[in-house]
Every structure is written in structure tokens, then in C-alpha cells.
Structure 1
């Protein structure tokens, strides 16, 4: 029995950015594209995950926040990878909600 290899999501730093990581089809046949502005393996890079609709001007930007604060106002540090994953979850949620209601059609280029 042959096994199907699974792909681990690791991007080399030399990859071009911004990079599309997902697309959602809207009810109006446009798409909401989610892109990342930088590599997930660069601790010195302040990147974002951006969701933008091709049918209307709506968009959403999620920062890769590596520092947050607890209820007692203590700093909590995250890795860039964890911060990017959290931003992607929020971006996908926004994209899904927007795609479910956007009736705009993509414009001809």
C-alpha cells in the first residue's frame, strides 16, 4: 500500500512575499485572498497577514504580535511562528465571514 506524503508548511526565507496562503470564494463570485507579508522563520521581521476582497474594497490586516499582556500586565512572548499562526486563524475567520455575505462581483482587469 502506497502512502501519500504529507506536506509540512515550511517556507524558505528566500521565498517571495507577499505570498497567498488561501482564497475564499464569495457569493458574488469574487475571492477573498489571504496573504502573508514575510517569512515565518525570521524573528526580526514585523509581518502581517492580510485578507482582501477582489470584488469590493474590504480588507483586514492582522499583525504578528509576538508580545501580549496578561491580566496582571506581564509580558507574554510568543515565537514568530505562533504569532503568524494566530494571525492566520483570525484572518481566515474574517475571510470566511466576508465571503459569506459579499455580493460584489470581481471587476475586469
Structure 2
């Protein structure tokens, strides 16, 4: 397992980006629940953020791709608007251990072995 961060390092209603082991990760906390996705739009495979840690649309209700404006739900990563509608962000499995977010195998295939 790979340690991502402490659970309190992600603020409620906010996103953070992480780069580790060849994997770019979006972490967000909504209603106390952590969601992790690969930072990769299913449309063109590009990173999603506008600026570091800035993945959300203006009213913070969707993850938004900065390239073509695709909108992804926070709790499932499904694209509901944009060129990849119906596709989803790649969710990343994790477990909590001593309040540390630990990525579990298998990691998305874009991660370095």
C-alpha cells in the first residue's frame, strides 16, 4: 500500500492533487467521505485541474475538466456533461489506517510499476 496523506489534509468540500509513484491523484472530501480518482480525463487523457488543487467548477458541485469543460459527479466520477458523457473517472481504492489514506492495489494502469 502507498500512503497518500492524513485524512485531515483534505478539507471538507475541497480537492487536492497528488503525484506519487507515477500516478496523478485527485482527492476530495464530501460530507466527511473521501473520494479518490485518477487525474485523467477519459476524453483525451489530460490532467483535469485549472491550477494546483483546483478541480471543481465555480459552485463546487462537479469536478470539471479544464480543457473541454466536461463535468463529473463528485461521488461517482461519472461524466454528466461534455465530450465524454457517460464515461467515468477512474476511481482509486483506499483504506484508512491510523487516519492515513492508504492506496490499495491494483492501482490504475497508468501508474508506474
Mark the structure with the bigger radius of gyration.
1
TM-score over 0.5 (shorter chain)? no
Normalising to structure 2: TM-score of the pair?
0.29
